[in-house]
């Protein structure tokens, strides 16, 4: 048991390190791309390439994870994170930037996307009791969100480095190098994990008896992710930059508070799930957050829009630990790595489509249109999820 706790603490630490890097990278990325001459349509295409590449890499990881050492795969993912940070500052040609975004680990969205996420989920779920599973994932999400909040504040560093004589683009490049260093720190943490060979437990196919449930969940999660792709954080930052002329420093502070609000919603989600169930928690917190997003799109005042987006952030991520816990609960232990990947990959693919459309919509007369489209589609997803899975209970709810 002590070894299991130590393993969980290492995974928590690695999640915090990665979250800090993601927190500043997803804000710095659109600012850097704008600084080197790209318009919103270009940024949308680059965001689409990033999410599409993430989806394909996550699919590949999910297919091989049941038969390979999870620790080795985590180390490879951390190495890719370091390589991404080193590559971005050296390319400005559009095709090369798209290639780095496609292969790399910097995602324009917050949340649980990325090739390392399903691997960490599978490691966390290995030795956790049913009664502790949701709380474990809530802590995991809490650490990730708090570290992203801290990283969001770090995104203001390029503004602070100006008086020191460092040019804006050079400051952006330094941030990417810092992201690469965090990848190396993550690798050092993963090296301390035990080997986790799952070959003996794996079924002949990556998914077995739970295939139908997993595919249905994946389809619904894809709709949710497609909607979310219209308001990935990089594009949300770009909307605030253009709609209200928000500065990079002000955006960093704002996204710090949205990430903090999301972070503290995770333990609330775990508490709520014990009382009303995982599916109900996902749905009944998600719908109000979508309403706040739609209202923000129509706000003519910066402070009203920021207040609505902050309220949205306090509710919109409560489905993250509950969704993860639900997927891990309704499949067999041997299917967990594949289930985590199969439910994550369609989400990444779906979310990869919409940023390119959102980039075009941002150039229209009503630049808030991506927010409206996102909110409406997410409400449709919530209703469909409740209708389809309200009767399928995880073990702790059946008891």
Please choose, from the candidates 182, 247, 202, the residue with its C-alpha nearest in 3D space to the C-alpha of residue 31.
247
What's the pLDDT at 200?
43
In the structure, how many helices (H) and strands (E) does the chain have? 17, 0
Kindly state the DSSP code that residue 194 receives in the 8-state scheme. Answer: P
Q: What is the pLDDT along the chain (399 residues), one digit of tens a residue?
A: 455 778 888 899 999 999 899 889 888 888 888 888 888 888 888 888 887 888 788 777 767 766 778 888 889 989 999 999 999 988 888 999 999 989 888 877 655 567 788 788 878 877 677 677 778 877 887 888 888 888 888 888 888 887 777 888 899 999 999 999 999 999 999 998 887 655 444 443 466 777 788 889 989 999 998 999 899 888 898 899 889 988 888 888 998 898 888 888 888 988 898 889 898 999 999 999 999 999 999 999 999 999 999 999 999 888 888 888 888 888 887 777 778 777 877 777 787 788 889 989 998 989 999 999 999 999 999 999 999 988 888 877 776
Beta bridge partners of 69: 197
Tokens representing 150 are 């801290």
Location of structure tokens 């949340």: 111
What's the pLDDT at 127?
63
If one counts the domains in the chain, the total is: 1
Burial per residue of 85-111, b for 16 or more beta-carbon CB atoms within 10 angstroms, e otherwise: bbbbbeeeeeeebbebbbbbbbbbbbb
CATH number, domain at 330? 1.20.1250.20
What's the pLDDT at 78?
92
Please choose, from the candidates 355, 144, 114, the residue with its C-alpha nearest in 3D space to the C-alpha of residue 234.
355
Q: Give residue 98's domain range.
A: 2-398
């Amino acid at each position: 048991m002590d070894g299991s706790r130590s393993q969980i603490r290492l995974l928590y630490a690695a999640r915090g390190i990665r979250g800090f890097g993601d927190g500043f990278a997803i804000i710095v990325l659109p600012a850097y791309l704008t600084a080197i001459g790209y318009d919103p349509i270009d940024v949308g295409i680059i965001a689409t390439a990033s999410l599409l590449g993430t989806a394909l890499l996550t699919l590949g990881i999910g297919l091989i994870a049941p038969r390979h050492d999870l620790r080795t795969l985590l180390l490879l993912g951390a190495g890719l994170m370091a390589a991404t940070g080193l590559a971005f500052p050296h390319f400005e040609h559009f095709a090369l930037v798209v290639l780095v975004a496609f292969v790399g680990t910097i995602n324009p969205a917050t949340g649980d996307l990325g090739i390392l996420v399903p691997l960490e989920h599978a490691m966390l779920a290995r030795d956790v009791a049913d009664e502790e599973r949701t709380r474990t994932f809530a802590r995991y999400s809490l650490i990730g969100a708090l570290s992203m909040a801290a990283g969001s504040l770090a995104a203001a560093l390029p503004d602070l480095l100006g008086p020191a004589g460092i040019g804006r683009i050079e400051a952006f490049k330094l941030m990417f190098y810092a992201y690469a260093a965090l990848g190396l720190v993550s690798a050092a943490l993963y090296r301390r994990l035990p080997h986790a060979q799952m070959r003996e437990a794996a079924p002949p196919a990556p998914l077995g008896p739970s295939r139908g449930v997993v595919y249905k969940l994946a389809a619904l999660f894809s709709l949710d992710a497609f909607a979310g792709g219209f308001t990935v954080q990089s594009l949300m930052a770009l909307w605030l930059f253009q709609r209200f002329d928000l500065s990079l420093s002000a955006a960093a502070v704002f996204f710090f508070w949205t990430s903090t609000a999301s972070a503290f919603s995770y333990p609330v989600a775990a508490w709520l799930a014990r009382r009303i169930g995982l599916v109900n928690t996902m749905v009944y917190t998600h719908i109000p957050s979508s309403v706040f997003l739609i209202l923000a799109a129509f706000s003519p005042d910066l402070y009203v829009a920021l207040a609505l987006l902050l309220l949205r952030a306090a509710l919109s991520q409560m489905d993250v630990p509950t969704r993860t816990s639900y997927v891990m609960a309704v499949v067999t232990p041997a299917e967990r790595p594949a289930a985590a990947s199969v439910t994550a990959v369609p989400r990444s693919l779906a979310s990869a489509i919409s940023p390119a459309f959102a980039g075009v919509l941002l150039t229209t007369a009503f630049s808030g249109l991506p927010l409206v489209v996102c909110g409406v589609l997410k409400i449709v997803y919530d209703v469909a999820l409740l209708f389809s899975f309200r009767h399928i209970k995880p073990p702790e709810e059946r008891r």
